[in-house]
Structure formats: structure tokens, C-alpha cells
Chain A
Amino acid sequence: GAVVSQHPSRVICKSGTSVKIECRSLDFQATTMFWYRQFPKQSLMLMATSNEGSKATYEQGVEKDKFLINHASLTLSTLTVTSAHPEDSSFYICSARDPPSTADTQYFGPGTRLTVL
């Protein structure tokens, strides 16, 4: 159980374009999902908390207008990187909490490698 998928797994785009990344919980409903980015040889950095049916909560320093998050259903959250630039190239990972669990356990997707040319 607690399987999280992401799509696409890898994307290459031109500078100035927008990219959408999907995160799905496959076998459970997730009222809360999280989006992280990770640079090579570094830890995971939380970008935002995605709440089903309400606005996402962004971490300090993360531009909400650049990283648009939508959590329209209990199994899907999307992250859109708008007007992407080379410095946005990174590994983006989502996670979801399994509601029946009383702990803060998060189950992670496989990640999306974004390369902006």
C-alpha cells in the first residue's frame, strides 16, 4: 500500500515555457501532499504543502506565482513550474500522507527530473 506516482519522470524544456508535474496517490486518498526539490548531493528541500480543496502553503523563499500547486482531488496534486529557467532545473519529488496513519509518515513518488535549456 501507500504507493505514490509521478508523471513525467523526466522532462526537458526550453527556457520560458511552463511544465506541469503530476503526483498521484494510487491506493489511498491523500488530503495532504508535499512538494520537494532536491539538488545533486543535497537533502530534500520542502517547497510547499498541498491541501485538497484549499490553497497550498508555501515555504519561505518559494515563489507561489512561479510554482503553482493545485490539489483538486484526493488523489492528485499538480505542480506547474511557470516560465521555467535553467536555474529551475532540479529533481522534484512529491509525497503524500496516508490519512489512516496517525503519524507524519510521508510516502514519496519516484521524482521528476526537470532540465531547462
Chain B
Amino acid sequence: GESVGLHLPTLSVQEGDNSIINCAYSNSASDYFIWYKQESGKGPQFIIDIRSNMDKRQGQRVTVLLNKTVKHLSLQIAATQPGDSAVYFCAEGGNQGGKLIFGQGTELSVKP
């Protein structure tokens, strides 16, 4: 079933530092993974995705790493900015008939 968190883990970083947000996914058969950013009061915004045949993918200031052995996904944000403050969710898919299973989310707070 879906992963629903009771409270959000938080990560606080200094502006300009790199951020690493981690996610453990649940289904070893999942072959597609997405990171979303959700600002307060808004819908989730697509950041980056990765297929299971890759272990790393880079975007603009973001990198996603996938470790299928331990079912772990991470999002790295370089030179974190105040505008990066939000809740970040990982989602897994590819074996759910189009459905995505969301992780509990991590709240990123960037200190100026």
C-alpha cells in the first residue's frame, strides 16, 4: 500500500551548501523513480526521474542516485538556495498500473 508518514523528517542546511535527501523505497519490482518538490499550499512539482537501468542521473543543480541493491534513492541539490525550501517526495512506479507510491517526504529548510 501507499507509504504515508505521520510526521515529516526535516533537513536544515545553510545557503550555498549541498543538500542530500534520502528515500528508501518499498518495492523491488519498481523500475521508475521520481523526485517531486512541494511548496507550501501547492501541488507537487516534477524535479527529476530515473529508470532502474541507471544508477545516476543529473539535471540542473540536482542529481539523483539509485541503489537498487538496498532499495535506496537520493536527491542531491548543489548550492542550495532559499527557493529550494520545500518538502521533497520520492515516488516509485513502473509496476503499479501507472500508479505511483509516494514516500513520506522530507522538509528542506535553507538558512540564509
Contacts and interface: CB of A to CB of B under 8 A. Distances in A.
Co-complex (A, B) = yes
Interface of A: 2, 4, 6, 32, 34, 41-46, 49, 59-60, 91, 93, 95, 97, 103-111, 113
Interface string B1-39: 111111110000000000000000000000010101000
B44 A103 contact: no
B51 interface: yes
B96 to A, nearest CB: 8
Given A2-B46, A43-B4, A108-B46, 20 more contacts: A41-B5, A41-B8, A42-B5, A43-B2, A43-B102, A44-B89, A45-B2, A49-B97, A49-B99, A60-B1, A97-B98, A103-B49, A103-B93, A103-B94, A104-B34, A104-B100, A105-B34, A105-B46, A111-B43, A113-B41
Given A97-B98, A103-B32, A43 B89 contact: yes
Given A60-B1, A104-B94, A105-B34, A46 B44 contact: no
Contact of B5 (A32, A43, A104): A43
Interface residues of B, number: 31
A42 B36 CA distance: 14
Contacts, number: 75
Interface of B: 1-8, 32, 34, 36, 41-46, 49, 51, 89, 93-94, 96-100, 102-105
A99 B99 CA distance: 14
Given A42-B4, A43-B104, A60-B1, A107 B99 contact: no
